[in-house]
Chains A and B, each alone.
Chain A
Amino acid sequence: MLRRILLGLIVAAAGAGIFWWLTIPAVVAPASLAAYTPNVANGLAVFNAGGCSSCHAVPSQPDRLKLGGGLAMPSPFGTFTVPNISPDLTEGIGRWSEADFVTALLKGTSPDGRHYFPAFPYASYQQASVADARDLFAYLKTLAPVAGKTPDHDLPFPFNIRRNVGIWKWLFMDGKPFTADASRSPSWNRGAYLVNGLGHCAECHSPRNVLGGIVATQRFAGGPNPEGEGWVPNITQKRLGDWSAKDIEYFLESGQTPDGDTAGGSMARVIRNTSQLSPGDRAAMAEYLKSLPPVEGPPRSSKAKQKEG
């Protein structure tokens, strides 16, 4: 009996040890960042491509550079509240080091060494280059600080245990930066980098499994809106086959679809960013999106169902 208890304890301790080891938050060491003069203009381009303001701007006011956070993001795992990323010294990123910021963006780890929840799309941002991350940091530091603390996330157990996010990262992040495909044009590669990395398009335009990870085989094939009502469209050639590259470019610039309608919902906020990109970057994104093979998205219940008022 005693032996069995002892064995149980050892197995439990080993399990806890493995869990601990698997869930250690990754960081970018300050020493790994060589001396560098950041390019603030490129930082602005990264800011627009990354869509930072879509979530971090203070909601219900027109200034997209007021990054005090506060937007509530409902999800199947609870409600996240977007944090303040303005250069405010107490509530924002005013006291962060450059390595803190690069770590947050590319590894999803906070300056105090805890996992961020993947509502922050670092699983996409991990593909961004360190130089882009450093330029973005320099740009953010030029913006006006916004005072005020945002409310805490409202998540039920076990989703509120941040250490568990380490397992999520282990399952759904490869930790690899973007690698160019030499057989493709430079503009295609730029588009792939923007769409998959900074643009984090797949985060909404892909179905997710029960653990909240993107279903890799249906990447970009759309799915139910994780924020609640409605559907996020398939952006592979299954749905966008009759859109020309020019149509996609024009949509990213103006929000207007070829059939004469406009983006609404969260995409309205996205267009406010993509409309600020250079025409070349929008063309690159369009070229890449046109190259995505058609993929069938998850099925929808066709029955008209009664909504809860």
Chain B
Amino acid sequence: MKRVLVVTGVLLLSVGAVVAQQDVAVQQQNLMKAQGKNMYGVLLKVVKGETPFDQAAVNAALAGLEADVAKIPTVFTPNPKVDVVDATFGSSQKIWQNKPDFDAKVTPVTKAIVDAKGTAKDAASLKVAFDAIQAKCTDCHETYRVKLK
């Protein structure tokens, strides 16, 4: 009986640990999704001409993006070792094998966003800035993001 209790307890603890790790993974995913919203939900639509250029909305999206990108090194400090259930993308374990390089890849993204704040004055100039930001996102996704489906 005692043995059963111990085994059950250990099992419950490890389930609890996996749930906690799932929370970490979800938190990390939410941070990236928030950036996706500004990047694709707002800026890309202007670039593609689906919504008209609105300086205030573009500025707000860039500011939101800048704030979220700055959080990446901290939010990605814990290694959840699990993927978000049914997610399309996950984190490569290479992030935690090479955290300084991962963190270093954030700096150019921030720089591209800061540059965009000064240069994006209409749809055409936003497109140039958008592509520059996108290229820096991809530089990191190429190594550290994993496609899961």
Contact = CB atoms under 8 A, between A and B. Distances in A.
A264 B147 CA distance: 8
B141 A262 contact: yes
Contact of B142 (A256, A265, A308, A309): A265
A56 B90 CA distance: 27
Contacts of A302: 86
A228 to B, nearest CB: 9
A263 interface: yes
B89 A307 contact: no
Contacts of A264: 89, 138, 141-142, 145-147
Interface residues of A, number: 26
Interface residues of B, number: 30
Contacts of A266: 142
A212 interface: no
Contacts of A263: 138
Interface of A: 225, 229-233, 255-256, 260-269, 300, 302, 304-309
Interface of B: 18, 22, 36, 39-41, 44, 79, 81-83, 85-86, 88-90, 92-93, 96-97, 134, 137-138, 141-142, 145-149
B36 A260 contact: yes
Given A255-B138, A260-B44, A264-B138, A230 B81 contact: no
A265 B146 contact: yes
Contacts of B147: 225, 230-233, 264-265, 267
Contacts of A308: 93
A94 B3 CA distance: 71
Given A260-B44, A264-B142, A304-B18, A229 B149 contact: no
B81 A309 contact: yes
